[in-house]
Structure 1
Amino acid sequence: MRNFQEFLKSNSKDEESYKKLIEFVQGLVEERDNAKEQLDLLESAVRSDYDSVLITTLELDKPGPKIVYVNDGFTRMTGYTKEEVIGKTPRILQGPKTDRKVLDTLKKRLREGQSFFGHTVNYRKDGTEFIIQWDIHPLTNEEGEVTHWVSYQHDITERKRSERKVMDSQIEFDSLDEESKKTLIDIDEQGNIITSNKAFRDLIGYDDEELKKSKIWDLLADEQVETFKHKFDQFKPSDFEGAVYELNIVNKKGNSVEVQVRTRLLEIDDQKVVRTSFENKSLQKRIMAMLNKRNESYRKMYDSTKDFRYKLVQTSGGDFVFDYVSDSFIKITGVSAKQAEGTPIGDFVHKDDIEKVEAHLKNILQGKPNTEQYRIKRKDGSYSEVIDYAKPVWDVENANVEAVKGSISTQISSAKKTTKN
């Protein structure tokens, strides 16, 4: 921390600027810590329900979406560290046995902005195969626009191996399926809950013996009881083979939990059993809300600390002209980005501040990042006091500074000042 403070001090023109810069950086650190706290909550929320959580950008065509976040479960499941995969495409996990039909369906669903549920073979860093089950959902901004994809993932290798074996009426759910974190119960043709795994018991709050005394509809919200009870009164295999239901189950505390239910039929000792898996949609919604809140926090932080960005190049006459400014330039100056391009920065600087701005830019041409506080002229003749955070842009050989890149902020400790002179 001391080295960082020394760095800030060496790039500040005086003690007052240094204090303002420290205040600014401390604000960023607080925002970062808040974002980390939200992320820790997310990690805690998904740890017991999912092996892995992965967030990617939207691009579906080559080179594909980029990974922007993975949780610790992803690193345990794949063998890749976070640093190894951030910025890469999830396609690094694919290989010879990855089902192209599943990937084509996945791609089609995502192009339509729809969620996707499926599984295929993926590969760990060491080349070993595993079967991954995806539950992928769009992440949207306040305008409802899809910005990222969130993928909840299970390693279901052991479950798939077990399904290939002869089903045994004495199957122990806790040992068979605990690793894949599936939330499961088995129901007989009369609607009795005959077996449940630990994940389901944790979700509902009842112990195994309590559940064995219950019918499946005893756990449903009142408005859904009769419809679901009727399916067992008139038991039809077609109602349960590969079916998907959206239900609300009521836990022992009386709280409603929104779930997506997937059912399939098994034959165990000549008895038809409905194996039912539950996806906790209430939890997923809380996670999505948390992610949206975190993204909004980042957006606000970015907007409040960088009113606009720019790039300056020096002409043969020695003037620094705008090669690029972001669209938000108009909010500070009243002049559009297109109008500003090619215009000397001096045209927008208070006459009393021009000398220090020139010294500021020449310092950067020597390869040193620098900060400076000065006044920028608005279209109506008034001035806004700003802090300029700028750094050098080196050529391809890293030998000479060819331009200056910077960010202008009006968020200074004395608040935004606007004067007429």
Structure 2
Amino acid sequence: MDHLKHNHTELTNIDFARLIDTAGIGVIVHQWDTTVVYANPTALTMLNLSYEQLIGSVAVDPQWHLIDEHHKQLHVSEFPVNKVKASESSLYGEVVGVLDFKHDDTNWFKVNAVIEKSSESGMAFIVVTLYALENIGSLFSFEQIVQSADDIIIVTEADDIEEPSGPKIVYVNNAFERLTGYSAKEVIGDTPRLLQGKFTDKAARERIKTSLDKKQAVRETLLNYTKSGQPYFIDMNIIPLKNRNGDITHFAAIERDVTEQTFYAEQLEKRNRDLKQLKENLQDVVRQRTVDLIAANRKLQRHAYYDVLTDVPNRRYFLEMSNSFLSLTRRKGQSLAVAMIDVDDFKSINDKFGHAAGDASLHLLACCMKEFFRAEDIIGRLGGEEFGLTMLFDNPAKVVNTLQRFQQKLAEQFRQEKQSADSVTLQPFTVSIGVCVIEAEQTGELDTLLKCADEALYQVKHQGKNAVILYDGTQ
């Protein structure tokens, strides 16, 4: 008992006023008429107010704008201090938001309010304590909004952005997974650099890094690659994210696939004309396709970019991607090859064995091209039995050798597959290939390269077919 009395005596020596001044919670004391007579420094910081602004103010002061957890503005009678005064009972755990127009922000608090009486004068005071709510995600789900967004959103840490491991990804939304083929589990903790590749613009990457070093926002168009290696262009807007103390802790990248957006705008303008032409070209094909292809026919947007029969880019999409590739190689100082691949005696296959046999031949050729060439190479069906190929190369001899090996691969593929997926007997066929190259130091347009490749192809046909000829300007 003496020990407890001693402790009580020691407690009376504690400076409780100083203790409240240094407490980590906000404390505000109102007189019974709601006039503020005391506020500790933590409360002033929480409310972004000076001592002079807060002391002497009353609940009806027009500077107070309070909202409830549903973002509904509170009437002055609903303020915690007035609710306690009206009910003459304490209030606990009420969530209140204080609008801060100066900083364009809302500060959220859990509020307790109790009645205290002076032991000397008997005067009643209302003591309000404020607990800052750092995260009010329970009020409404920002993550659900972000997850449902069509734009790709990536959030990274802001501390360590140096290669090769930084900055580390902490969040990606569903749109990211759909576009890249990576799951959130695969990329969390990794760096966005895993999306970049050999032809990602180095200057753009340097500009991004410079801005991130300065903790500044930046916007760039960048070439990235999916998990399967397919290139795509994005419009990327990176912004810094701050915590409640104003420190930049993360970066958020909001990205949009501008390749699809460009083609989508064009497809909308010509929708009716494209659909009419598409139906005319596909009448014979649709009867031979599976239920899956019929379902795919309803996906009109894809049909604007891909050939339905072979599932490779159509002429328009091939030209668009090849032009982008050509522009990229100019900036990077690399060499480019454009080839035209044509099925030999295709009309004879159609006439002798029917359109189904011809379709099966084109489908086999497209499948072989997709399997043989690299993911970054661009392939497409230019029309009829003619296909295009755009690829980077080290020297012209390697280009010719690669295309000759492709002809061998095609022959092997035919020997392995005697029937198509639709049980149509495959007829033997060969391909003729004309190719044109442009060295890094040379200039040229895609139309010119295609014309030269076509002239080389004509020479192959004239000399007996089933060969590869490199355009040398003498054709």
The reply to whether TM is greater than 0.5 is no
Q: Bigger radius of gyration, 1 or 2?
A: 2
Which protein has greater RCO, CA pairs closer than 8 Å, 6+ apart?
1
Bigger strand fraction: 1
TM-score relative to the length of structure 2: 0.26
